Structure 1
């Protein structure tokens, strides 16, 4: 067993993959630059007799995330326009895979369920940018850990 983490066992950020399943179609999202999803507990403050400090009790959770994409797809603009014109919102799943073949820790696969975008850039120009990108914020209401990293 190693006494410290070996550099080869860290995960390269460029070795990830992201897939969206939207209306039954799987879209490989090779245009993702960054993606981060987090779960935050809803906490209730609890005061009790005989104790001067505040205690907290978890009473639920909320899933939120953000993505930065290269500005090369109209898919999410179309989903937003569908909502604007019909009122029908689209929820979908995202599968995020981290797998660096150099590392000994294997693969981690996370599925975010019922993903819904909060906002979408509908059009963009930027004369000071060499490459256009866009930021998308989202929420999700389910999550599965399909594959877990092993210990190095």
Structure 2
């Protein structure tokens, strides 16, 4: 059966929520889990075998600078005696023509860096927030 082009999910309908609040200024998102493996050589077999040793979650979100709310929130923690800010993000895709919508919860999100200043005359200011995360959950899968 051929793919129905109408059902292809469009990123225009992507949303990012931080602890339940929609972050409307962000317009791009990534998240991936790297599977860390060790190679095993077994006697009597030409195939290289693999053993999973760990998982590493990384991602980012980017968009337009509208407020300093997120920067202030993260800075309060990084300037304290306990600089271990953790939060939760939910990435959602809600294309009305797709088979459904998708929501993915990212747990224990820790931002890697803060853009304190990053601008150029005559251009809109954008921000990029790279992070690591420890665990995810597919809350709502897209299904036919």
The normalised TM-score by structure 1 is: 0.86
Give the aligned partner of residue 16 of structure 2. Answer: 18
* Root mean square deviation of aligned Cα: 1.5
The normalised TM-score by structure 2 is: 0.91
Instruction: State how far apart, in whole Å, the 2-side matches of 1:35 and 1:145 are.
Output: 16
Instruction: State how far apart, in whole Å, the 1-side matches of 2:112 and 2:14 are.
Output: 24
Aligned residues: 143
1:99 matches 2:94: yes
Q: 1:58 aligns with which of 49, 52, 55?
A: 52
Structure 1 residue runs without a partner (length 5+): none
Q: 2:138 aligns with which of 142, 145, 149?
A: 145
Give the aligned partner of residue 48 of structure 1. Answer: 42
1:69-121 superposed Cα distances (whole Å, 9 cap, x missing partner)? 21112123213321332133221110111111122x10111100110100010
Give the aligned partner of residue 120 of structure 1. Answer: 114
